[in-house]
């Protein structure tokens, strides 16, 4: 059993839970907060959506033990919230519910959308709500209700910081449901040129630093070599690169869902500052999902090795939108960065060794990356506990 302390709807809660207890079951069975509904129990339908540390997340795939120290807000915690009151009234006026099973999660997600993005179009609302499924209404009333409340509202952007994955090969990985720093702690500014994409309403931002076991003078030319990068990044396939425009695809597996995002990206480098920006968009024909993103990076010395500061801004719409936010993405991106850094260091021969060929991974499995992150978390959980002699 794991002892946890968290805040639920403003009330401190101390409990002992089994490691496999999901947050949704803890909220419903231990605390009696049955407003959180369980539908698919796979993180797809969105009925179980709650706010964890100010961000909408699926409580059916979040372990209660990993939420130790977190602030959780369920639909019951919005009873006196003015914006939620407007949403409830609008849902009633626009006939945005029938059976009501999806409504708690739909309302929590809608509250996040309006407070985060402000006044947005109906098309943007549909894209943002694509991770919440409803089998009754056809979504027209829901979209109209959210749009009515969002009109005239101001946006408040939200960024997520991914923890440093540590030195490659040191056995450190991003912990499951790693906490983001408070809003007052900003990510280190990058010296790269101005973003190419400009504003990205509804997008998410991840920032982290990755250590690479190779000197800066060796790493920087490799970062500019698109063929090398494609070999080091799981799932990436480069079709062409003319010096400024890269064309290719990224193959990703989310359980039974396999998506191949094909598209192009604009690339810029600053040799003097050792910074760069890659921005582009892609689409998966099978699921209809679209991704738009930008990566800004800066390389600097770190002892005998290098430190790569990376900021990723992205937005996913369509069937895969439910995977675009929260701790799941933080963990996957952190673990992916660790794999990339290890592959790159291997190709560069590490610190002084002979260059080696990185293993070419043609498919990025979200399950495999999550499993790797889980192993790292378990290692950190049990590593400090001696068995006794």
Condensed to tens digits (0 to 9), the pLDDT of residues 11-50 reads 999 999 999 999 999 999 999 999 999 999 888 899 999 9
Q: Are 223 and 348 in contact (CB under 8 A)?
A: no
Summarize the confidence of residues 123-131 as an average pLDDT: 89
The answer to which of 27-31, 101-105, 120-124, 202-206 has the lowest mean pLDDT is: 202-206
Three-class SS state of 5: strand
Between CA 286 and CA 257 the distance in angstroms is 9
pLDDT of the residue at 166 = 40
Count each helix (H run) and each strand (E run) in the chain, helices first.
9, 14
Between CA 278 and CA 266 the distance in angstroms is 6
Mean pLDDT of the chain, nearest integer: 77
Count of other CB atoms within 10 angstroms of residue 256: 6
What would the pLDDT profile of 134-170 be if each residue is shown by its tens digit? 999 989 999 999 999 999 888 765 443 333 434 333 3
Residue 277: CA count within 13 A, CB half-sphere: 16
Between CA 352 and CA 341 the distance in angstroms is 16
pLDDT of the residue at 328 = 57
**What are 194-198's contacts with CB under 8 Å, separation 24+?**
195/277, 195/279, 195/294, 195/296, 195/313, 196/266, 196/268, 196/277, 196/279, 196/294, 197/279, 197/292, 197/293, 197/294, 197/313
Q: Higher model confidence: residue 234 or residue 78?
A: 78
What would the pLDDT profile of 346-372 be if each residue is shown by its tens digit? 888 744 433 344 444 445 555 554 455
Which spans in 34-152 are helix H?
A: 82-93, 103-117, 122-128, 140-150
Three-class SS state of 159: coil
pLDDT of the residue at 342 = 80
The answer to which of 195-204, 264-273, 275-284, 309-318 has the lowest mean pLDDT is: 195-204
pLDDT of the residue at 327 = 56
């Amino acid at each position: 059993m794991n002892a946890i302390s968290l805040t639920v709807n403003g009330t401190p809660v101390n409990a002992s839970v089994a490691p496999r207890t999901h947050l949704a079951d803890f909220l419903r069975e231990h605390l009696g907060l049955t407003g959180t509904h369980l539908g698919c129990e796979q993180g797809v339908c969105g009925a179980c959506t709650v706010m964890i540390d100010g961000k909408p997340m699926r409580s059916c795939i979040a372990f209660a033990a990993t939420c130790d120290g977190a602030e959780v807000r369920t639909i019951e915690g919005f009873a006196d919230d003015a914006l939620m009151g407007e949403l409830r009234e609008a849902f009633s006026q626009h006939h945005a519910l029938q059976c009501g099973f999806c409504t708690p999660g739909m309302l929590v997600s809608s509250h996040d959308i309006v407070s985060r993005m402000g006044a947005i179009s109906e098309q943007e609302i549909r894209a943002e709500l694509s991770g919440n499924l409803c089998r009754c209404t056809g979504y027209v009333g829901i979209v109209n209700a959210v749009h009515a409340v969002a009109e005239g509202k101001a946006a408040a952007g939200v960024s997520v910081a991914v923890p440093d994955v540590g030195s490659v090969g040191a056995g450190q990985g991003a912990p499951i449901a790693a906490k983001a720093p408070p809003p007052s702690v900003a990510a280190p500014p990058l010296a790269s040129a101005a973003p190419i994409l400009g504003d990205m309403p509804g997008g998410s931002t991840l920032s982290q630093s990755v250590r690479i076991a190779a000197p800066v003078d060796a790493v920087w030319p490799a970062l500019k070599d698109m063929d090398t990068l494609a070999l080091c990044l799981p799932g990436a396939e480069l079709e062409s690169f003319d010096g400024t425009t890269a064309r290719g695809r990224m193959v990703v597996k989310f359980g039974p869902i396999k998506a191949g995002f094909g598209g192009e990206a604009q690339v810029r480098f600053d040799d003097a500052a050792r910074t760069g920006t890659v921005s582009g968009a892609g689409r998966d024909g099978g699921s209809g999902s679209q991704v738009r993103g930008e990566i800004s990076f800066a390389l600097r010395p770190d002892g005998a090795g290098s430190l790569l500061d990376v900021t990723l801004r992205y937005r996913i719409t369509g069937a895969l939108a439910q995977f675009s936010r929260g701790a799941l993405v933080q963990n996957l991106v952190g673990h992916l960065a660790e794999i990339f850094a290890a592959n790159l260091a291997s190709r560069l021969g590490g610190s002084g060794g002979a260059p080696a060929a990185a293993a070419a991974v043609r498919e990025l499995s979200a399950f495999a990356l999550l499993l790797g992150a889980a192993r790292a978390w378990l290692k950190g959980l049990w590593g400090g506990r001696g068995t006794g002699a």
